[in-house]
Structure 1
């Protein structure tokens, strides 16, 4: 990606380069353009918005000029024969009876304590 930053001198240029290189995913940063007012940043997974906002806070006005895809125009990746992906197999876990619990249902039985004669002799 290329960013245009308003930089007044060497001190602000070095500060901008330190900020750009300090961001995660940045592999390299270099000055570009006739007046060295552009920073070219290369890397993988660089957050352009975060870089631009940090440069605006620390150095001055910064705007995003261009963003190119991974590899860009300079690098050409050599692709070997692609390896076929292995087929997807679903393997079910073995049956484990300890996961299945038997819940006993209580049985209720009617008990007649009185029987044929009442327990109390007074009645």
Structure 2
């Protein structure tokens, strides 16, 4: 939060993002050293939830409460060429599949019993009856 004064009245403003967003930047990454430099530059920001670098595609993906323009300026300070590809809300997590629950027995009478059956593979010599 920042403060500024106009005509004797003090105003405050928020300099940080309040919404989580996904920012994808195109960065010229040629080696592990370049990748490390970019990650160190991005790590200085607060509000970051996830950072990933794809050196094959040459993209840097940052998820969190970070301004895309400030992020771009910080990465450019490392001497890299940076372009903003996209800025927007992150995709929601896919729902996890529910664990399988055992099926209820088909018969509802009190005489039936549940019996456990298992299968053990036999790796011994094979038999042939001719």
TM-score, normalising length: structure 1: 0.52
In the alignment, which residue of structure 1 is the partner of 2:59? 38
Shift of 1:26: 1.0
TM-score, normalising length: structure 2: 0.50
Shift of 1:19: 1.3
Q: Does 2:47 align with 1:25?
A: yes
Q: Measure the CA separation in 1 of the matches of 2:40 and 2:84.
A: 18
Q: Does 2:72 align with 1:52?
A: yes
- Structure 1: runs of 5+ lacking an equivalent: 77-123
Distance verdict in 2 for CA 1:27–1:8, change over 3 Å: same
Indicate the structure (1 or 2) with the bigger Cα radius of gyration.
1
Shift of 1:2: 0.6
- Structure 2: runs of 5+ lacking an equivalent: 1-22, 95-130
Count matched residues: 73
Counterpart contact for 1:6–1:61, Cα < 8 Å: yes
Specify the SS of the correspondent of 2:30. coil
Please tell me the root mean square deviation across aligned C-alpha atoms, in Å: 2.0
